[in-house]
Structure 1
């Protein structure tokens, strides 16, 4: 009877979830001579869980928790317990398997290594252990951040200071920065130095310094406008292009007007902005030499052809109170064009007298031009 009761009691104890064993010495699993309080000769398993919610409270049943969510997440540690139930030594391993950030918060006023929270960056992990302390103490210690502290390295333009990876190392391989449509900005009072790490004399206000020593060819800019002997010039907005300093002015490379000339002076009123039906096409910015000739027979009146915002192409002033040809018939002008393009030639007059003869000269109306300097 005794043996049967003993066996029954032992069976009940084996299946009871709240049985506490107290003994002196060590416990061994698969070893007859345990050298530690718990000596396991074999594998050890602890709870593994995977979560994808953005807010998660760690519990007493958690050990290794992997995050697979689709946004930044917040994990909350359980509050410490004083006295019975204190879980000093409890370990949590949090693995971030996403491209987002996990913020791990201690229960206020508790801290993690003195901070109220820590961050687990994308594709990194952290291991925390409870110190058993309560209140405004470091109740959790961070054992590591990342896959392994020893596995963090820095190269190719980076340096490593502890677990802090910074810019500032030596490039160890060819590097191509692909902006993918994003701007790369360098701001502040510092400078970009190429070929030197010392700001040379005279470059106090420079933002970019290129120092190639005594070797030619320190700078190359190709935008399709470069040619042998060209220099880099700027427009009013500072946009630079390559262009020659002087062209072969007055050579046989004159450009004529386009369109069909109409008589702009048939109206009985004066004024400007009259349609001539002609245009000039300027291929590049610079100074241009214009020549123009036209015959106008009229009494006292001022007649002119001009390009709005640029200047006169031809102008004749009143020289007779009776009908006469305006003079001088053939005229030259020097005009500057800051922007290439097609420009309309307009006309104007001072009063309402209609010319009795228009474009009746020999030769007839002409207007052509040539660039002679940038």
Structure 2
């Protein structure tokens, strides 16, 4: 009888063991997981002040409150019996210093030989059960969000509005960077100065020279920034006068354009004017032509005449007036070809045979 009772008790113990290893509930009648706890859970909390600390099997949550940078060492992995795969350590840095967490060499943490915890950060380390030069620890980063270099943080909200703490290059890659609204772009100041109520861009360089630099290839010493009808600005020479005596002559070599026995314009002269900047130019020119009655002229297509002589004699005579002045406007810098024309087919008896010989020069007098 006693023997049968013993066998029954052993069978009940075996069944009880299967139940424990299947699913266990604490304050839970029907556990849904291997361990199902209906209530709170506590694990060891350790406060550390030492700058060197070795994590052990007795640790779970370690809080650092020291007065310097610290080094925490993780335990080396174990093969076979004693393997602690799945062990979890949480390390919290409650200081303004840095904690360096090291695995046992040659092991790694997510492939890294060490991990740094900055001020206020916490991290969770989980053993993979592996050993050797592998990731024997995986890392769950529970670090609070931080913001720098033009960003600010408010809780979980990271937004523009911080101070730039390092050199920053905004590569637009063909995209537009737009700043709109009623606000202003202030450079060198954080307050709108007097007289800038309608300005969109304000540069305050204090008393230092050179607050603005614009380089587009048209800049030269003494030039001023001028606008076209659409508000597009380029650099052009300052206002001068013809009295400055800084005349510029034509370029090229003059050829006789009036040899054809036909009339018309577009005749090649071989010369041109190189205009350095847009603006108004005073042009003077002179040439001797001995011819029967005809109208001869030099001009720049789309700009105007630079010299013209009208028929004044039915017999061969020098054209007059020999010397002429013009005021012409050039909308853009560049090289302008000088053309010639005549109103009938008369070929001059002589061309450029006077004294002095042909001249054509110019000077800018107004932007």
Relative to the length of structure 2, the TM-score reads: 0.57
> Mean Cα displacement is larger for which, 187-196 or 35-44?
35-44
TM-align CA RMSD: 4.0
Name the count of aligned residue pairs: 261
Structure 1 contact 297–326 (Cα < 8 Å) conserved: yes
Structure 1 contact 195–212 (Cα < 8 Å) conserved: yes
Structure 2 contact 249–361 (Cα < 8 Å) conserved: yes
Matched residue, 1:190: 183
Seen in structure 2, the aligned counterparts of structure 1 residues 328 and 208 have a Cα distance that, compared at 3 Å, is same
Which 5+ residue runs of structure 2 have no aligned equivalent? 30-36, 45-56, 61-139
Seen in structure 2, the aligned counterparts of structure 1 residues 338 and 249 have a Cα distance that, compared at 3 Å, is farther
Q: Offset at 1:264?
A: 3.8
Q: Offset at 1:314?
A: 0.6
Matched residue, 1:72: none
Matched residue, 1:323: 316
Aligned residue among 289, 312, 317 for 1:296: 289
Q: Offset at 1:321?
A: 3.4
Matched residue, 2:150: 157
Q: Offset at 1:297?
A: 2.8
CA shift digits 1:252-308 (9 cap, x unpaired): 65333213423245141x332222222222233333332222222333332211111
Q: Offset at 1:248?
A: 7.7
> Mean Cα displacement is larger for which, 315-324 or 302-311?
315-324
- In 1: Cα distance, 2:241 partner to 2:281 partner: 10
Alignment of 1:204-283 (within 5 A): 204-211=197-204, 215=207, 217=209, 219-221=211-213, 223=215, 225-227=219-221, 230-237=223-230, 238-241=232-235, 243-246=237-240, 251=245, 254-264=248-258, 266-268=260-262, 270-283=263-276
- In 1: Cα distance, 2:240 partner to 2:180 partner: 38
- In 2: Cα distance, 1:281 partner to 1:23 partner: 97
Which 5+ residue runs of structure 1 have no aligned equivalent? 27-33, 45-145
Matched residue, 1:366: 359
- In 1: Cα distance, 2:361 partner to 2:25 partner: 112
Matched residue, 2:169: 177
Q: Offset at 1:245?
A: 3.0
Q: Offset at 1:13?
A: 6.8
Structure 1 contact 247–372 (Cα < 8 Å) conserved: yes
Structure 1 contact 195–211 (Cα < 8 Å) conserved: yes
- In 1: Cα distance, 2:361 partner to 2:40 partner: 105
Structure 1 contact 249–371 (Cα < 8 Å) conserved: no
Q: Offset at 1:329?
A: 1.5
Structure 1 contact 272–348 (Cα < 8 Å) conserved: yes
Seen in structure 2, the aligned counterparts of structure 1 residues 260 and 243 have a Cα distance that, compared at 3 Å, is closer
